[in-house]
Structure formats: structure tokens, C-alpha cells
Structure 1
Amino acid sequence: MPVEFIGMIATQEASEIKRRPGPVVDPDFVRRFARAYEDAGFDRVLIGYSSSRPDGLQVAAYAAAHTDRLGFLVAHRPGFMAPTVAARAFATLDQFSGGRIALHAITGGSDAEQRRDGDYLSKDDRYARTDEYLEILKKAWTSEEPFDHEGRFYRLEDFVSAVRPAQQPRIPIYFGGSSEAAYRVGGKHADVFALWGEPLAETAQQMAAVRAAAAAQGRTTPPRFSVSFRPILGPTEELAWERAHRILHKIRSGYTGEEDFIRDRRGPDGQPQNVGSQRLLAVAAKGERHDRALWTPLAAATGAPGNSTALVGTPETVAQALLDYVDIGVTTLLIRGYDPYDDAIDYGRHLLPLVRAEVERREREQARARQTTPETASETASKTTQPRDETAALGR
């Protein structure tokens, strides 16, 4: 299966080391940013969600109108919009964009962040609501007949939508989370289950947990998997590591770009409530470097509010590190940089081609191996052994 690459766009250029310039919504930058990712060869870009950020569906609509091929993964929190309304909104955008929309369901791991938008449910209740929400959403996209629903969180009668997604049978659902509840609900509904960048062993453990949860829900085909990283590239190993330490120094010297993002995800004690961030901090506490190129101090320095572990090295080193995750079953790689716009261009020039070329080479080898059927192998063996038999007979 070809590897899928996802980037991430925002409405202004900012990161942990870049102070936000100008207005919160900069249309010119959104156009340039989306086109940069399209030109770089990315499959999709993620549009994030928080209680203080611009609306993701509208950002996706604007960016889709200024691109031709790029897909858009729109982060969406169940509970703030009725599922039938969301189904029509996403289906309408999927039609206008020519089938380039996917939904990234994020249930919400911070009570404080949820309450800013008026949601006072507990975490367990939020996941129960997400489960019911996604059931309705999928049915709204696919049902040709009116249907009723009466559940714990939603009740509706005689619903059928005239607008269907351009993609059939429905829009893809990505799902993020690292708690047992996330495994359970995502294992049931997700087409792609998204994880943050942990070491290979820990990532494989999470994948196994999601597969087990999917099987417990009766699924015969488990979700595919996405893993997120912050690659830091350099023309040599030394220069890549020098750049990595400069980024770390900037962050430790004074947080400049993402203060509200950090604030949104911390609990009353200042520590992250979501399990994904807790896991990244635990990995960072075990050591700075893991596997081939995984580097964790940036997660520790920022409190791991999102995907914040780096892969550091030359494009060749980082490409091999990404392929290590492909080897354990990852099909989607979400990467974004600390210099967001310039890094997107560099990834397209130097990183994506290396990964894709190796994946294609492996697929060609596997196709050739499949062509060698047992019958073909038997015939080949017979032809190679026959001359030896005749030589032996002549010798006798």
C-alpha cells in the first residue's frame, strides 16, 4: 500500500519558535501555504481545532478553492454541532472540493478547553457521545431512506439528507487518542487511527491495542494507522543536530508562538490531562534519543501539547526512520516543521521522494514475488535439477 503523507496548515505562520505575525486569518498566507504543500506532493493537510482558532471547515473550503489536488483533513469535535448538521456540512464541502475532504474526530482531552465552548461532560461521557455521534454521522452519509435515532445524547426523527459526499460510500474518518476509551471508540469507527510519535516499541503496542479493540467490536478489518512527527533536516548529521538544538534553545528561552495552544491542553495543576501528552512526556523522561532518530526534548520543553517529538538527521536518515514505522504497519505519516512554510517545501524536495521511492521499490519486489506461484517455482526447480540428473547418468 502506498504511504500517505499529511502536512498541517494554519491561517497564519506560527510555531513554537515563530511569533504570529499580522491578523489571525491571513488569506494570502493560507493560499501560499496550501499550494506549497500541494506542490511538495503531500496527499492531505490537517486543519487543527481549538476553542480559540478559526473554523476548520471554512479554512478547508477556502484552501480547496485555491488548490487542485490536495486533500483536507478537518479536525472536528463531536458535541458542538448536531451530527446531522455536521454530516451535511462535510458532505457539501466534499462535493465542492471534488471529494478531497476527510474528518478527524477529536473527542477532547482537556476539561478546561471543552468548557470554553460550553461542554461540561466528563471525559468518559465525551467518548460515549463521540461513539453515538459517529454512528449517526456515518448513517447520515450513507442512508438512502429516512431514519430515526434515539440514544443517550441524540434524538432525531425521519432524517435523510439530500446531499451525499462525493466520496463513496462516505467521507473517511480519522480518529485521535491514546486512552483506553479512545482505543475502544476509534477501534470501532476509524478508517485511520492517529498516534503521536513514540518509539517503535511503544507505537507497536498502541497499534496492537487498537486492533484488539476493533476486533472486540466485531471488525474484521482494523483501522489503518497514522503517526505524527516533527522532522528536523540538515544536509549533514552535524548540521541537523545543530539546528535541532537551536530550536530547543529558542523554546527554552521563552515560548513565543503557541501559548494558547499550550494553555488549552493543561489541567488545573498545569499538567496535561490527555493521555497522549502524558505518554510523550513519559517517553521523554526515559531518555532524549530513541531508535534511529527520534528525539524527545522538544516534547518535554513544550509540555507535549501535540505532536512534538522530532526525527533529526539528514533526509536519508529521517526517511529511513519513517520507513521503520512503515515496517511495523503504519500507512500514514503526518509531518510538520518548526519553520512551517519552508519546512513543507524542504520535505517535498528532500524527504518525501526518498520514502516514496523505497516504498515503491518494495512493492515491486513483492509483486514479483507473488508472480512466482508454487507451480512456477516447481517448474523452475524441475528445469534446474534436470541437467544435473542427466550429467549424473552419463557419469554412471
Structure 2
Amino acid sequence: MSQAQNAIKFAYWVPNVSGGLVVSKIEQRTSWDIDYNRKLAQIAEKAGFEYALSQIRFTAGYGAEYQHESVSFSHALLAATEKLRVIAAILPGPWTPAVLAKQIATIDHLTGGRVAVNIVSGWFQGEFTAIGEPWLEHDERYRRSEEFIRVLKGIWTQDNFSFKGDFYRFSDYTLKPKPLQQPHPEIFQGGSSRAARDMASRVSDWYFTNGNTVEGIKAQVDDIRAKAAVNGHQVKIGVNAFIIARDTEEEARAVLAEIIDKADPEAVNAFGDAVKQAGQASPEGEGNWAKSTFEDLVQYNDGFKTNLIGTPQQIAERIVALKAVGVDLVLGGFLHFQEEVAYFGEKVLPLVRELEARAKAHEAVAA
């Protein structure tokens, strides 16, 4: 396997939703508008990021007053770049697989095969209620998502596709043109519940997990990969991290302290209540945020837990430690996106590649 294939990959959260990625009143020099995001996508591509992940929200809440729709926004970012791959977040329910399959196939042709999807099963009941969508029980949401993915793959890879599921039915359907990407555009999903991990081990190309310690992530990776092997399936792992890279560790820790000190308690607690209620509805009574503290919840997806906070050298070493336990991609959030993505590309990423090359050379000598 070449160094490029084996190298850990990097993605960033697209700020197409207002309020930034921390529920805090700290200054965030980040904008949700298209001009800011086009420039950010170009900076990220130049910095060495392979992916960007757009967010899907239909209603305001937890500091997110405005939200651009994910698929059309992703297309705009793809049009502004040449190599960057953009992952559009999708909610089964509001989207049907037939419409999404056609949307993504078209965008794939318009952008030279650079679009992907992230299937979000849903955690925000108030959002579904507001737009008149039925709110399914926890494991039912994942059953629907799994059918959604099976249908997407079928439409994208087969002619005369038929499917009879509990949520979706297709009869002799042929999509033309099919996507450029073979066998199909990449399919990502998230979640930490048993249902989410089991689904990933059967159908998803990529599994996103919330931020966690190296030990916590290793346990998840081992679990998913063991189950995937039994299913004759392979799945890659991405982990969320809120990245605070500064010239000194003291500076980085001071930024984290200020974020938490200026947190919006009402919004953080409301978000915590919603996500924990969603997780408690799972059979095992746990979800993504089951063990999250107030401080963890200040960053939507437990990004502080991954501890990519410190100097470029410290962060690079922690990234390589994540890779060593099976992580294939780091999904980064930042306080000031444009400046910090550029800084990451200049200061951190070269150190990661250097450490990867050193580890590879060491393995070759040992062999």
C-alpha cells in the first residue's frame, strides 16, 4: 500500500449553519454564508484536506439560527474547488432515496465524481415534529437508515432495481445516468449506539464516531471491524475532533478555558437534554452523548474529548496515535475556520506526514 493510500485523511465541518461549532459566546471568526465557505473550501483544499462535511438542520436551536440546505450548498463548494470531496448530510424521512439517488448522481457528473453522502438517522425530535415528519423509535430510525443505504446502493449500481422493505418499495427502477464513481459515491454514517455500529458493520463505507479518548475509540473500532469481518464487509473510521492548534500549549489551553467559561448554559443544557433523551431511547439506554459532561457538550460532537489541543507537535503525535488504533480520518472543527485550517495545513499536517513516514520506515526495518 502506498504512503498516500495509507495516510490518515482529514475533513472539516462545513459551517453552513450559523453559530459556529461551539455553544459559546466566545468570538468565532466563522461565517455561514457562501462567500466565506467558498474561500474556506479553497483554503482547505490547498492545506491538504481531502473532505468537507456539510451539516443538515431544518430548524433553529442551540445557537444555530440560520441553516443552509446541505446538498445544494455542497454542490456550490464542489464547484469552487478542484480536488476536495464534499459529503452532504442527509436525513431519511425528509429525503426519499429515489430523489437523493438522482440528486447525487447528477452532482457527481457535474463535479467529476467528488460528492459523498452522510446518512444521519436523526436525534432532534423537535425538528421532525416541526416539519411534520414522523418521529420513529431509536432502533427503527436505524432500520430505516439501513434500508435507505441498501436502496441507494441498489439504485446506483443496478438496472431494473426492485426492493420490498418496511420503509421503501421499488419496482423495476433504472436510474440513468448512474454516478461516475464506482461502485458508487461513498456513504458515511454516524452514531455510537449498538444499532448505529451494527448498521455500519453491514452497509456503510465510513463510520463517524463522536470525539473520545484513544482507548475509547480503539474499543469502538475493534468492535465495528470484528462485526464487519463476520459480515464480509469493510468499513473505515472517522473521528470527530475540535482542533485548537497554537504555538504553545498554554495558548491552546487558554482558548479551551475561554470557550467553556463563555458557554451558553441554557443552550448547552437544552442540547444535552435533547441528545440524551434520544440516546436513552436506545435498547441499551446509551447513545452518542451518554457520558458527556457539560464541558463536553459545549462542542456538539464531544470534540474536546479527542484532545487535539496543544502545539502542532503534540497534535500531530496524537493524530498518529489515533491512526495506530485504526482511525482512517479526522473530522476537524475549528474556532476561526479560515485562519485555523490554513495554520493546520502549514504547521500540523506536515508533522503528521513526517511521523507517518518515520513509522513506516520503522516497520520496514522491523520486518
> TM range, normalised to the smaller chain?
0.7 to 0.9
1:60 is matched with 74
The alpha-carbon distance between structure 1 residues 26 and 20, as it changes in their structure 2 partners (threshold 3 A), is farther
1:80 aligns with 2:91: no
* AA at the equivalent of 2:187: I
Partner of 1:241: 253
Superimposed CA distance per residue, residues 262-303 of structure 1 (whole angstroms, 9 cap, x where no aligned partner): 856743xx845234442451xx5xxxxxxxxxxxx7414x2x
Q: 1:308 aligns with which of 295, 303, 308?
A: 303
- 2:7 equivalent to 1:2: yes
Classify 1:94/1:364 alpha carbon distance in 2 versus 1 (closer, same or farther; 3 Å).
Answer: farther
> Residue by residue, what CA displacement relative to the aligned partner does 1:162-189 show, whole Å, maximum 9, x if unpaired?
0211211111111101001101111111
Q: Where does residue 26 of structure 1 map in the other structure?
A: 33
The equivalent of 1:36 in structure 2 is 43
Q: Deviation digits for residues 181-230 of structure 1, max 9, x if unmatched? A: 101111111111111111121111111221233244x22x4311111111
Match of 2:336 in 1: 339
Q: Which amino acid aligns with 1:338?
A: L
Partner Cα distance (2:108, 2:161) in 1: 23
Is 2:289 aligned against 1:278?
A: yes
1:181 to 195, 201, 226: 195
Is residue 357 from structure 1 mapped to residue 367 from structure 2 by the alignment? no
- Give structure 1 stretches of 5+ with no counterpart: 285-296, 371-396
Instruction: State yes or no: 1:115 paired with 2:129.
Output: yes
Q: 1:163 is paired with a residue of what secondary structure?
A: coil
> Post-superposition shift, 1:350?
1.1
Change (3 A) 1:13 1:348: farther
Partner of 2:13, secondary structure, is strand
Whichever residue aligns with residue 333 of structure 1, its letter is V
Q: What SS class does the counterpart of residue 102 from structure 1 fall into? A: strand
**Contact 1:211–1:222 at 8 Å: present in 2 too?**
yes
Determine whether 1:320 maps to 2:317: yes
* Residue 212 (structure 1) aligned with residue 226 (structure 2): yes
Which whole-Å CA distance do the structure 1 matches of 2:278 and 2:96 have between them? 26
Q: CA deviation at 1:89?
A: 0.8
Residues 195, 225 of structure 1: 8 Å contact kept: yes
Larger mean CA deviation between 336-345 and 359-368 belongs to: 359-368
Matched residues in 2 for 1:37 and 1:49: separation?
20
Query: Taking structure 1 as reference, are residues 199 and 20 closer, same or farther at Cα in structure 2, changes over 3 Å only?
Result: closer
| Structure 1 position 71 matched with structure 2 position 102 | no
User: Partner of 1:152: helix, strand, or coil?
Assistant: coil
- What SS does structure 1 have at the residue aligned with 2:128? helix
Once superposed, what is the RMSD of the aligned Cα atoms? 2.7
Specify whether residues 193 and 109 from structure 1 end up closer, same or farther in structure 2 by C-alpha distance, changes over 3 A only: same
Equivalent residue of 2:303, what SS?
A: coil
The one-letter amino acid paired with 2:312 is P
Identity of aligned residues (%): 26
Q: Matches of 1:12 and 1:159 in 2, distance apart? A: 35
Per the normalisation by structure 2, the TM-score is 0.85
State the secondary structure of the residue aligned to 2:243. strand
3-state DSSP of counterpart to 1:166: coil
Report how far residue 70 of structure 1 moved.
1.0
Partners in 2 of 1:35 and 1:12 — Cα distance?
A: 19
Q: Please tell me whether residue 46 in structure 1 is matched to residue 53 in structure 2.
A: yes
Q: Secondary structure at the match of 1:278?
A: coil
Letter in 2 for 1:232: I
TM-score by length of 1: 0.79
Distance 1:135 1:61 in 2: 24
- The letter for the 2-side match of 1:308 is G
Distance 1:107 1:262, change over 3 A: farther
Q: Does the Cα contact within 8 Å between 1:12 and 1:20 map onto a contact in 2?
A: no
Question: Which SS does the other structure have where 2:182 is aligned?
Answer: coil
- 5 Å-filtered alignment, 1:374-393, equals none
- Structure 2 gaps of 5+ residues are 1-5, 60-66, 280-285
SS in 2 for 1:355: helix
Larger Rg: 1
